[in-house]
Structure 1
């Protein structure tokens, strides 16, 4: 009986397990205040342990006070984020702060205080919640008179349970009567919409650690002329195609014309060389013979004349005296012109 009394002398207040809810990123204060009996003369030891929420891992020591020293490098996930709140632990305060809370910090934390012969412990359940954030309001459907559509309120993140509240911020600030049953729902169904539904609405999302809000501007308008819109789009597309086709056609035609002009001025075209004059041939032949005759003596003149002149075609011989020079008419013919065309090292006659 005496031993039991000693065990009860060192106590922690409050003795019951408590639950703490905090938002991600915030700091959680985990209390552990104790009372020491004068008979407790042993060294003071304080130990905090974490039992993870998944119950698959063993209890982890996260911070320890022993021999007047603090040790806080036991748990890698909490390294640098767990601290004793008091500078004098012997005064009876073993509370800790866990900063920059993460979802992995969820679990049961146990505070153990020993001062022989006294021993006491306390458990604190820590829940880390995510505040609603990134909430957006939008319309799912066509905002036209007579249509059915939905207005939605969706947070990007937020721990359950979430609570929703819609409000109208414009005009009479009264929600349309058919919507009243869904004012606390993330989705409001709008049936047979009227222009009276137009206005600015807000949606507030809440959970136990925070809230977020978004705004929606609803503009219910008369039905649009979809057939006319589609026809206009089709006609516009066809006109654009026709214009593009004309541009391509003109560009290709211009390119062909430039290519043709380049070929006319630069391409090599072979033609038959100018014909030789029979008269000039005959004159050359006679001139050659005259040279030979000039070197002969009168004695052999008669035989040579008979022999050589008989070899000259009668046609050429007869024309020679009458046409001693090239006929100018053939050279200056009105329908002929000769130009030089140089390609590489060749020079050729071209006739046009």
Structure 2
């Protein structure tokens, strides 16, 4: 009986010792397990712990990014083992993950992540091991992108009585994004017919009026930031359709009149030019040109020689000259067409002999046709 009691006491002591060992290492952090941060910011993942005298083994601290898919492997982000920190386990956070304390074994296993990116979003686990104790803590980190500066624009005609849509869009930003519109001029009250869409970022102003004109501001925001843009809206009266049509008709008529005047002037100039050309052709046909200048030159040479011979004639020779055929009329065209050898010589002209003396000597005055520079008979 005594032996059975002693065995029972020994089992109870071992159990109590085991329970004491099991609860020796504790994670003492009480902060939130879900954190939202904006990109490019920094975050501290808190992991404080306490040790018991029974925790006599080496201290190991391991931070890992748990895989969202069970088929994938967890990624070790940073490690402390053998009194040494290893910070280059995960290339995605290389140089951005550091222990918060220079000596984590003092009970601070927290880490700092700098320059946050959207890819840093995930569940991080802090595991502290000091044999025989093991404890861990999980934290959800959500890295959100701040909204980029939105772009404000209008869609549809900005005329009175028409529907106009004011649109606001941010190209970047983690959902959920919320858009709000407000009027910053005049009464600062949105039009009564305005319909807002906070998710799509639009404001539809139905049957817009002149009072809808003014300055509007759109704000895009999420949990980590906000940005805004300004839009100037001007509602114009409807155009005068009748005046536009009348003006268009008058412009067309004026254009037709100008075209008709130009065509009339061109036709008139063309007919005038044609008439002057025909008249010049008729004048040239009335006066036929001579066949050759050479024959005319020869005729003048012969005339000159006869004049010379007439001047050297004596009164007795004049009688013989008078018996020769004389020219008492203008030669005909057929006579001019004859070769130079058969063309009769014109009568000599005595430039220095007086008309009375020439008649006394038996000479007959004859008129010689005049010629212009190009040899044509006038």
Structure-2 separation of matches of 1:124 and 1:193: 51
Q: Is residue 2:196 matched to residue 1:182?
A: yes
Structure-2 separation of matches of 1:207 and 1:134: 13
Structure 2 match to 1:162: 177
Query: Which residues of structure 2 form unaligned runs of 5+?
Result: 1-14, 263-291, 299-339, 345-370
Larger Rg: 2
Structure 1 match to 2:103: 88
Residue correspondence of structure 1 range 275-286 to structure 2 within 5 A: none
Secondary structure in structure 1 of the residue aligned to 2:40: coil
Question: Aligned residues, how many?
Answer: 271
Q: Is the 8 A contact 2:61 2:109 kept in 1?
A: yes
Secondary structure in structure 2 of the residue aligned to 1:104: helix
How far apart are 1:333 and its partner, in Å? Answer: 7.6
Q: Is the 8 A contact 2:191 2:205 kept in 1?
A: no
Structure-2 separation of matches of 1:209 and 1:81: 21
- Structure 1 or 2: larger strand share? 1
C-alpha deviations, 1:246-271, integer Å up to 9, x for none?
9xxxxxxxxxxxxxxxxxxxxxxxxx
Cα distance change on mapping 1:26 and 1:6 into 2, 3 Å: same
Cα distance change on mapping 1:233 and 1:202 into 2, 3 Å: farther
Structure 1 match to 2:44: 29
Cα distance change on mapping 1:229 and 1:333 into 2, 3 Å: same
Structure-1 separation of matches of 2:101 and 2:167: 48
Structure 1 match to 2:220: 205
How far apart are 1:86 and its partner, in Å? Answer: 1.1
The alignment's TM-score, normalised by the length of structure 1, stands at 0.64
How far apart are 1:194 and its partner, in Å? Answer: 0.9
Q: Is residue 2:64 matched to residue 1:49?
A: yes
Secondary structure in structure 2 of the residue aligned to 1:9: coil
Q: Is the 8 A contact 1:131 1:207 kept in 2?
A: yes
Secondary structure in structure 2 of the residue aligned to 1:157: coil
C-alpha deviations, 1:267-320, integer Å up to 9, x for none?
xxxxxxx9988x99xxxxxxxxxxxxxxxxxxxxxxxxxxxxxxxxxx97xx9x
Q: Is residue 2:223 matched to residue 1:214?
A: no
Q: Is residue 2:92 matched to residue 1:77?
A: yes
Q: 1:193 aligns with which of 208, 213, 216?
A: 208
Structure-2 separation of matches of 1:96 and 1:231: 79
How far apart are 1:98 and its partner, in Å? Answer: 1.3
Q: Is residue 2:373 matched to residue 1:334?
A: yes
C-alpha deviations, 1:47-100, integer Å up to 9, x for none?
111124465631011111111111111111111111111112122111111111
Structure 1 match to 2:120: 105
C-alpha deviations, 1:181-207, integer Å up to 9, x for none?
637462222111111111112122221
C-alpha deviations, 1:132-160, integer Å up to 9, x for none?
11212221111111111211221122111
How far apart are 1:35 and its partner, in Å? Answer: 0.8
Q: Is residue 2:171 matched to residue 1:171?
A: no
Structure 2 match to 1:298: none
Query: Which residues of structure 1 form unaligned runs of 5+?
Result: 247-273, 281-314, 320-331, 337-352
Over the residues paired in the alignment, what is the CA RMSD in angstroms?
4.0
C-alpha deviations, 1:98-142, integer Å up to 9, x for none?
111112111111111111222111111111111111212221111
Cα distance change on mapping 1:62 and 1:230 into 2, 3 Å: farther
The alignment's TM-score, normalised by the length of structure 2, stands at 0.60
Structure-1 separation of matches of 2:41 and 2:95: 15
